[in-house]
Structure 1
């Protein structure tokens, strides 16, 4: 019985020594592996240290904490608006003016034997044109050959000569022709209409179903109306980028904004050029987010920083450092100047990093006011304890089978 007790103690001692040796070996291995374990992204400390290291930060970007002042600057940052083209100095277009290149249909009505009546007589002309004679006198009408407005804005009318047509309405031109025929014809009446309208048109090109020339009417179509007349955009409104060229000015927005904000959906003007470009907008997420690194589409005209974080599941409870959500962006020079950044510009803009502390409740209000931009990069920093969590898992994976095997070998 005594020998059995000694043997049991010896085996227990050997078992403990084996376990201690096992833990020592694994511990040394774990310490050596601390700096070699894979990570999904940097820690807050790594990002901050990189920003202060000139060798690791050749772009010279700064890290700015999200404050009410910063959120105010970013929320007021508006890309070049299409509505900025529609200034008060520009007279509204009525889309009923004659212009160079237009083809006009001119009809002249006269009493009796008029200047434009056929040689067969007034009555023959009237019946040929489907008109009956008036009760007191015969009325004739004659359609002049299609008349194109010349490049200088004038037209030629028989017995009248050259008249200015460009810039006039058809009714105004008809009155001018009637006044010019007075004394040469009996009570001339003139009708003018635009049979081929070139001046009151808009060119729509790009990703629409029926690109080409769209004729504007006196209904004064909006930009979204013109795009609809052209068959509509091929892709979704949020991914359809609209460029408007008016004279020497350029404005841009997406179709979703035109449809959601009436103040941006301005009236189309004759001569406008509208180009629809397929430009899907997205932002990219790395680090300890709730989902794996991914490129996330906007799917709406506007996305705030708060919405962007929510769409990727926010910080991961097991791995993330909620104090350090970083927004990497090439900022617009105007906003960069307002923020006091002295970073050298790049072709894409001013590189800057915004840090959001999600442990501060006020940050959630500020994040709602910060709009995301296409190609922004969100990085949710890994917690510094993340490696210890991984080491613990590694130790459990390695030691567990050893302990079990040693116990079974007793």
Structure 2
């Protein structure tokens, strides 16, 4: 009998210390925590206002998605929109003109030599005050006039000095009415406002078009002390935004600088620029490579943001909040309408998209850490202190 019971006692004595070590390791790992990408869903809820924290945790519904759908509103003021197209023949300061005067005399012409009835004045520059100088006619206001209007003005001044003068005026260059195009365009430079390039879209085409994706291109126009900007895609969709240009306009094409941060169990953890004008939570998840199928908890997709008091009161059903509020919006992709809510919820500049790890992941990490530690302990025990 003693011989049969001996092995049982031996097993108990041998495995007892190992079990004790295993239990101590599990307890210590649970107390100290394991490596992870961020807080668990339980810890996020523990920091909510209902638990004494300072962040409002709100589940995303259709109403919440509608209330928070705030996107940048760009456009041009009435001063830009109401300006008509500049006449392609309107003379401006800096323009170069060509004048020809036909005189109805042969022996003693006013402008030419004897026997010369035709006098040409080429490369007549319109000065900074908008005037040109014509011999025997003096200073004549040219800026703002058409070539026909200027022709009539010169004719009236010469008519008293030479019989029936015939005058022609030609606008040789539009350098006086120019705009500057810079930024993300194929050809930066100073371009004249001519008949084919009197509107914003045609001038951008003249500059070779944009050199960045159209979905993130913003066109900014500065005129005097006013600035307006539009999305390039909106400019092409809405003819009302295709404003008429004015001399001195500065056109700059720039890329959208908005971004969000992706953390947790996603395909990429970094700062992610917007790729489109409007970005939904579902598109943001796809943009970072989707959820990590080996780690992610699809019931714990969170969006962290600072929200205005107006929207915070609306989505929380309160009316006593003031100042910016810390908001945590929760998406559950396993719900029947979860994908729809993620599609309708808009991501904004500066948002943080965070996906929690699934509960079993922590268990797997714990077991892996424990079994690895116990194995190391066994190795040390077999070596013994004397070896």
With normalisation by structure 1, the TM-score equals 0.74
- Tell me if structure 1 keeps the 8 A contact 2:258–2:350: yes
CA distance in 2, matches of 1:359, 1:250: 46
CA distance in 1, matches of 2:110, 2:136: 9
CA distance in 2, matches of 1:336, 1:175: 67
CA distance in 2, matches of 1:198, 1:66: 57
User: For 1:6-59, what per-residue CA distance to the aligned partner results, in whole angstroms no more than 9, with x for missing partners?
Assistant: 2xx5335433554454233212211221242121111223223334399975xx
- Tell me if structure 2 keeps the 8 A contact 1:320–1:383: yes
Match of 2:385 in 1: none
Offset of 1:299 from its aligned partner?
A: 3.9
- Change in CA separation of 1:236 and 1:201 when aligned onto 2, cut-off 3 Å: same
CA distance in 1, matches of 2:114, 2:182: 51
Find the partner of 1:322 among 279, 298, 302.
298
Find the partner of 2:332 among 349, 354, 357.
357
Provide the alpha-carbon RMSD of the alignment.
Answer: 4.0
CA distance in 2, matches of 1:218, 1:358: 55
CA distance in 2, matches of 1:55, 1:103: 75
Match of 2:220 in 1: 243
SS at match of 2:195: coil
Match of 1:216 in 2: 193
Note the 1:6-405 alignment, pairs <5 A: 6=4, 10-34=6-30, 35-52=32-49, 57=54, 62-75=56-69, 77-84=70-77, 88-113=81-106, 116-122=110-116, 140-143=118-121, 146-151=124-129, 153-208=130-185, 210-230=187-207, 233=210, 235-237=212-214, 241-253=218-230, 257=233, 261=237, 263=239, 266-267=242-243, 269-270=245-246, 271-277=248-254, 281-289=258-266, 291-330=267-306, 342=321, 344=323, 352-399=327-374
- Tell me if structure 2 keeps the 8 A contact 1:324–1:356: yes
- Tell me if structure 1 keeps the 8 A contact 2:259–2:274: yes
SS at match of 1:70: helix
CA distance in 2, matches of 1:263, 1:304: 27
Match of 1:131 in 2: none
Segments ≥4 residues shifted beyond 6 Å = 53-56, 332-341, 400-406
Match of 2:384 in 1: none
- Change in CA separation of 1:313 and 1:150 when aligned onto 2, cut-off 3 Å: closer
How many residue pairs match? The answer is: 375
CA distance in 2, matches of 1:264, 1:17: 88
CA distance in 1, matches of 2:171, 2:276: 42
CA distance in 1, matches of 2:112, 2:257: 64
* Structure ranking higher on relative contact order (CA contacts 8 Å, 6+ apart): 1
CA distance in 1, matches of 2:208, 2:341: 40
Match of 1:133 in 2: none
CA distance in 2, matches of 1:379, 1:87: 42
User: For 1:156-181, what per-residue CA distance to the aligned partner results, in whole angstroms no more than 9, with x for missing partners?
Assistant: 43343444332222233223333444
Offset of 1:379 from its aligned partner?
A: 0.7
With normalisation by structure 2, the TM-score equals 0.77
CA distance in 1, matches of 2:105, 2:190: 43
List gaps (5 residues or longer) in structure 2: 382-387
SS at match of 2:344: coil
- Change in CA separation of 1:178 and 1:230 when aligned onto 2, cut-off 3 Å: same
User: For 1:354-389, what per-residue CA distance to the aligned partner results, in whole angstroms no more than 9, with x for missing partners?
Assistant: 322222232322332344344432111234454233
